[in-house]
Structure 1
Amino acid sequence: MTHVDASSGDRLALATLVQYRMTTTEQMHRVIATQVRIEQTRRRLAKLRDEGLVERITLPRAGRLRVWFPTRYGVQIASEWPELRGVRPSKTASDPTAARLRVGHTLTVAETALAFLEDARRRGELCRPLDWMPEVYHPLGSGEAVIPDALMFYRSGSEDGGSMLRAFVEVDRATMGPERLAAKLTAYARLHRYVPVPIARHRLAGQEPPQEEWRKRYPLFPRLLFVLDGTGPTGVATRIEALRAAAAAPALSGLLRDVPVLAAPLADLLQHGPSAPVWHPVQDSDGHVSWSQSRHL
């Protein structure tokens, strides 16, 4: 069996690829190794490839861009590590054809992750590479589920006096209509109020009543962030208005009362940083806010 050397950073590189699904060489370098030259990251990825743990495709655009992804063997090795508990290996593209079909959206999600990771580093806050968890499964019963593009853990402020923030992140590249994007609000509202049906029909005396499924994982329901890409300012405005129109539905009142729901263009996150007041509150048609300072009851 291949030995992945934790001290060299090989383990973090493989874990990141398994968790993020795929990255470019430059994205991987920015995630794990900004303190060294990018050539070292290239050598590390080449070494993992020689060991059969990762593979790559080359995109014809952008100067024959190299995109890396884990092999089935790499997924098998990394999935046994405790830091990847909860990752869904079956969703990882592990052959060139699958990688090419998913590359556009997956690289955009990775770039969104980097916006938060790099902003946290600049601010002296804490968001580590594996604090960004794509496609975490949240059941709704009857085989249905909410699967956000990513679940993010982020500690704001100082390590002693800060607070842990959690967010569901949906990255929209304008590949679906505004109405389908807005319909995701309904799914999150269902998750917010979903209580599993107990197996026993009669509750015993003194037994705690059933509670919402999400409370088993989170002390507060995570913020919901929509990151918009693939269109100009007019398209972004149209999508935000669609989200606001959907928010008027009575079925969403519980979610919107308790949970900040925000939308921002990816271009603004990359230019100003996610902590800047670039986010449009879906519940409020006026003003811009920082995602981490938005009110959470």
Structure 2
Amino acid sequence: MTTAQPKARTTAGFAPSPVEPLAHQLLATLAPHRMASTQQLHVLLRPDRSRQSVSERLNELLGKHLVDARPPALTDNHGDGRLAENSPHPHRPAHASGVRRRRTPARRRHGHLDRPPEVVFHAIGDGERVVADTVMHYTLIDDQQRRKLRAFVEVDRATMSSERLAAKLIEYARLWTYDPQPAGRCRNPTGQGWLRWYPVFPRVLSVLTGAGRQAMDNRVSDLKAMVAHHPLVADLAREVPLGAVMLEDLEEHGPTSDVWIPLAGGQPLPWTEL
């Protein structure tokens, strides 16, 4: 089988462009993000244009049956994600908002697809695994210096107990020390299995929402207590930045403001300085 050679002339009405069409960007955005509101797509893709320009392309995709319209929601046929202003699953918009707020300041530097699909998991031994809502990849550019940052992101919607939320830090600490022993292979000389995926262990960020301020303050206190009292988590905190933030603060002030609470103690900082 051979590849067809490109034609000397292009089809009438088609003009090749180095810029990806908005319709393609919409589909490419829905695939990894799984769902987003029209407003969020507008902010990610065309913040300098009218919202109508995004809506028109969405309508075209609807007409081609690439997305489904189920008022008040849109569903990506191929990614099985939901594009909704009022999702029937209340936790979904909160997750999308958390991801969008963290990514907006970096849009012009790296784009909206600079993260893997939602939900990432790694084995931690004994047949168990740690599951993160996502792993964020971020390139920080400061005074011509480029620094690669990565973070496991946990979006807590107050659907699990505060104790269970804090216990997730134990799972990340287990991943940090986990050394898998595949049959027939030599022992990993570093003793750190996560080096198969990351050059540096990603920081762990918790975004809290779905409860009143006092309840979320209590959940942060429980996270801090886990860092202070569990020896394995304490060891992790000495080497890996751990932080928490209220989604409302993230939305109001932005991810690069002093809104992230260091779980090892200290005053709120931008997440990049934890």
* TM-score bracket for this pair, using the shorter chain length: 0.7 to 0.9
Change (3 A) 1:208 1:111: closer
Counterpart of 1:147 in 2: which secondary structure?
strand
Change (3 A) 1:163 1:28: same
Structure 1 partner of 2:216: 236
Offset from partner CA, 1:151-170 (integer Å, 9 cap, x none): 11111124941211111111
> Which of 168, 179, 182 lines up with 2:163 in the alignment?
179
Q: Give the AA of the match of 2:178.
A: Y
For this pair of structures, how many residues does the alignment match? 254
Offset from partner CA, 1:179-234 (integer Å, 9 cap, x none): 11111111111111111112117x4xxx8636422211211111111111112221
Counterpart of 2:20 in 1: which secondary structure?
helix
- Indicate conservation of the 8 Å contact 1:23/1:69, yes or no: no
- Indicate conservation of the 8 Å contact 1:117/1:127, yes or no: no
Larger of the two Rg values belongs to structure:
2
Structure 1 partner of 2:73: 67
Counterpart of 1:227 in 2: which secondary structure?
strand
Q: Higher helix fraction: Structure 1 or Structure 2?
A: 1
- Indicate conservation of the 8 Å contact 1:198/1:210, yes or no: no
1:195 aligns with 2:175: no
User: What is the deviation of 1:100?
Assistant: 5.5
Structure 2 partner of 1:291: 271
Structure-1-length-normalised TM-score: 0.77
Counterpart of 1:119 in 2: which secondary structure?
helix
For residues 127 and 48 of structure 2, the distance between their equivalents in structure 1, rounded to whole angstroms, comes to 45
User: What is the deviation of 1:25?
Assistant: 1.1
Q: Give the AA of the match of 2:58.
A: L
User: What is the deviation of 1:139?
Assistant: 2.6
- Indicate conservation of the 8 Å contact 1:17/1:69, yes or no: no
For residues 149 and 57 of structure 1, the distance between their equivalents in structure 2, rounded to whole angstroms, comes to 26
User: What is the deviation of 1:138?
Assistant: 2.1
> Which of 194, 204, 216 lines up with 1:214 in the alignment?
194
Change (3 A) 1:249 1:18: same
Gaps of 5+ in 1: 59-65, 76-91
Q: Give the AA of the match of 1:236.
A: M
- Percent identity (aligned): 34
- Indicate conservation of the 8 Å contact 2:30/2:81, yes or no: no
User: What is the deviation of 1:7?
Assistant: 2.8
> Which of 27, 30, 33 lines up with 1:17 in the alignment?
30
Structure 1 partner of 2:13: none
Offset from partner CA, 1:9-51 (integer Å, 9 cap, x none): 2222112111111111111111112122111111111222222
Counterpart of 1:7 in 2: which secondary structure?
coil
Structure 1 partner of 2:40: 27
Write the mapping of 1:1-297 to structure 2, written as runs, cut at 5 A.
Answer: 7-58=20-71, 66-71=72-77, 74-75=78-79, 92-93=80-81, 103-121=89-107, 126-133=109-116, 134-141=118-125, 143-158=127-142, 160-200=144-184, 203=186, 209=189, 211-247=191-227, 248-284=229-265, 286-294=266-274
- Indicate conservation of the 8 Å contact 2:169/2:233, yes or no: yes
Moved over 4 A (4+): 92-96
- Indicate conservation of the 8 Å contact 1:262/1:281, yes or no: yes
